[in-house]
Amino acid sequence: MAPIRIFTRGSMRWREEMVLDAGGRAALCASLARQAWRRVGASSVRVVRPRMGADFNDQIRESA
């Protein structure tokens, strides 16, 4: 994934720009997924992901 620019609320609630790389984007998506599952009633949520540069299909092929 290519880095993207996002806007956040920084100190004193001012709008700040930051760049998210692939790892940051994955962490953000994992956090949002965890929050969504918790909101619908899941008591314990553990987010997993394959190593950087791979996807779940690669992970399955390597473990077989």
Q: Domain ranges in the chain?
A: 4-63
At a CB cut-off of 8 Å and minimum separation 6, what does 47 contact? 30, 31, 33, 34
**The predicted structure's pLDDT at residue 36:** 95
Which of 18, 20, 45, 51 lies closest to 33, judged by CA?
45
**The predicted structure's pLDDT at residue 34:** 92
**The predicted structure's pLDDT at residue 55:** 84
pLDDT under 50: residue ranges of the chain: none
**The predicted structure's pLDDT at residue 58:** 86
**The predicted structure's pLDDT at residue 53:** 81
**The predicted structure's pLDDT at residue 35:** 94
- CB burial of 31-63 (b: ≥16 within 10 Å; e: otherwise) equals eeeeeeeeeeeeeeeeeeeeeeeeeeeeeeeee
